[in-house]
Amino acid sequence: MTEREPRVIIIGAGVAGITTAHVLRERGFTDITVLEKGSDVGGVWYWNHYPGLRCDVPSQIYQFGFAPKADWRHAWASGPAIQRYHREVVERLGLTELIRLDTEVVEARWDERSRWTVTTAAGGVLGADFVICATGVLHHPFIPDIPGLADFTGPVVHTARWDDGLDTDGRRIAVIGTGSTGVQVVSALQPHAASVDHYVRSAQWILWAPMSLRQLPGVATVLARFPNLHRRLHRVMAFGGSAVLTDVTTRPSWRRRAVQAYARACLRIQVRDKDLRAKLQPDYQPLCKRQVISGSYYRAIGADNAALITDGIAEVTADGIRTADGAYRDADVIVLATGFHAHNYMRPLRLHGRDGISIDDAWAKGPRAYRMTAIPGFPNLFTVLGPNSPTGSISLQYTAELTATYIAQWLAKFRAGELSSVEVTDQATTRFNDDVATAMGPTVWNTGCNSWYLTEGGAVDLWPFDRATMKAMLSSPDPADFHLG
């Protein structure tokens, strides 16, 4: 076979897409097109701009290893600051020219001869040798099916599609949902609202952290002055954070119990009102759901204009919400902090692989991939931050970079003429998923709570291994696990 340049289409320009474009370009690939349905890069950080949005991972960790930023204003950056960072990184690394914004992919179809044919919502058709789905996880808002919701006469807004023109000051606001988002939005809206009613179906453990803290003075100057030190520091913090989180989440130990004791102490110390505390007390172990971190929620929900409502919602009326106990509360605005369809990945994109198999059929029992990145039946297609990669413990930026570097090795084999097609075997995928299921046993995510980590089939869609295992699994392709054509 002769040497040829692979035509690569990356779908999505969020954390995963930006990382993949950069990694491939660094390895000399030149025919890369990134298709992004949003009007800007950033993925979740583009789509989410609700009041109070802040990343609960420290800014000096939540960044690309290849583009560290010294001058974060806050120790935990705000959503808009992170979105600006993504735009700046894309511009600084010269990736802008690769990215087509406002371009939604609606179909991708594999054909043995013509390879991938990718169709956009506007009717554009592109050919590619490889498709890389960097389509994100928390992407498709979940709108609950609550009786009467469509009849509410005021604004109903999902946090992931916030209306920046919505005036919430002085209004009676009903917030439904208490994940990381609900907790942040309640904390932000409460000080200026006439009232905030927080509708909570399952209570959350909330770890206290000083989330509005400024980055320490002088840090930016020192890090900017010594970029190598900055890179090294970022690695140490990101790897150290991953090691601690992996340790406490994946196996029971006194260290897990210490973090859980801290969560219980946060509730006990910060909420003095016994009735309120009882309603805020979850009935499952801390860390079982995606851990919520906040420095302000307990204060906000204890304020005179705030109410915690734990009775189930019976119906929404034209002007308010009635709960199962018969109580009725007026509302001017309903905020849905109800999360996402977390296991859609690239869907509803119509993805068809070998012999026309659709991704919906392939994933009828839930998302399933080999080492987060390859799917049987879908040759020359990879995912970055695909199934099992909402890791729950390891840096997403690191995971994305490792996966993209792994994919680049397959592309290099194509470029060198060593293969034309590559498809993971079903056996290797089953083996990997069996190992994942076994390793999930002792994890805290498996201790009896309901969370977005669980697929409809009840599997935990996270990474149960440590960072070293991830690195080993993605260090170099194992041809025995693939059909090569």
- Determine which residue in the list 298, 410, 452, 482 makes contact with ligand NAP, applying CB under 6 A: 452
Check residue 102 and give left, alpha or beta (phi > 0: left; psi -120 to 50: alpha): left
**C-beta separation of 384 from 404 below 8 A:** yes
* Length in residues, the chain: 485
Q: How many residues bind ligand NAP (CB under 6 A)?
A: 25
Q: Does 450 bind ligand NAP (CB under 6 A)?
A: yes
Question: Which of 290, 343, 352, 368: binder of ligand NAP (CB under 6 A)?
Answer: 290
- Convert residues 57-96 into a mask of x (bound to ligand NAP by CB under 6 A) and - (unbound): x---------------------------------------
Tell me the torsion sign for CA atoms 273, 279, 283, 285: negative
CA-derived radius of gyration, the chain = 23
CA–CA dist 19, 406 (Å, integer): 12
> CB-wise, 56 or 401, nearer to ligand NAP?
56
- Least separation in angstroms between CB 362 and ligand NAP: 25
Q: Residues 235, 458: contact at Cβ < 8 Å?
A: no
Q: Which of residues 25-64 bind ligand NAP (CB under 6 A)?
A: 54-57
Q: Give yes or no for residue 196 binding ligand NAP (CB under 6 A).
A: no
377 sits near ligand NAP (criterion: CB under 6 A) = no
Beta strands in 337-439 (DSSP E): 350-352, 381-383, 422-424
Question: By rule CB under 6 A, what string of x and - marks binding of each residue 224-263 to ligand NAP?
Answer: ----------------------------------------
Of 339, 353, 387, 477, the residue at the interface with ligand NAP (CB under 6 A) is 339
From candidates 11, 126, 132, 176, binder to ligand NAP by CB under 6 A = 176
| Part in contact with ligand NAP (CB under 6 A); list of ranges 264-272, 336-344, 353-361, 457-465 | 336-344
| 14 in contact with ligand NAP (CB under 6 A) | no
Provide, rounded to whole angstroms, the least separation between the CB of residue 341 and ligand NAP. 10
Q: Stretches 198-206, 238-246, 372-380, 394-402: which one binds ligand NAP (CB under 6 A)?
A: 198-206
Between β-strands 422-424 and 482-484, what pairing exists: parallel, antiparallel or unpaired? antiparallel
Give the three-state DSSP class for 294.
coil
Q: How distant is the alpha carbon of residue 65 from its chain centre?
A: 18
Q: Which is nearer to ligand NAP, 362 or 444 (CB)?
A: 444
Closest to ligand NAP by CB, 201 vs 354, is 201
Kindly give, in sequence order, each residue whose CB lies less than 8 Å from that of residue 45, ignoring residues fewer than 6 positions away: 14, 79, 82, 83, 86
E strands within 129-280? 130-133, 156-158, 172-176, 195-199, 206-207
Dist. CA 159–CA 150, nearest whole Å = 17
Q: What's the distance, CA 413 to chain centroid? A: 31
DSSP of 417-441: TS-S-EEE-HHHHHHHHHHHHHHHT
- Among positions 181, 285, 397, 405, the unique one binding ligand NAP when judged by CB under 6 A: 181
> In this complex, which beta carbon is closest to ligand NAP, that of residue 57 or of residue 106?
57
By CB under 6 A, what part of segment 127-156 binds ligand NAP?
A: 138, 144, 146
By the criterion CB under 6 A, which residues form the site for ligand NAP?
54-57, 138, 144, 146, 176-182, 184, 199, 201-202, 290, 313, 337-339, 450, 452
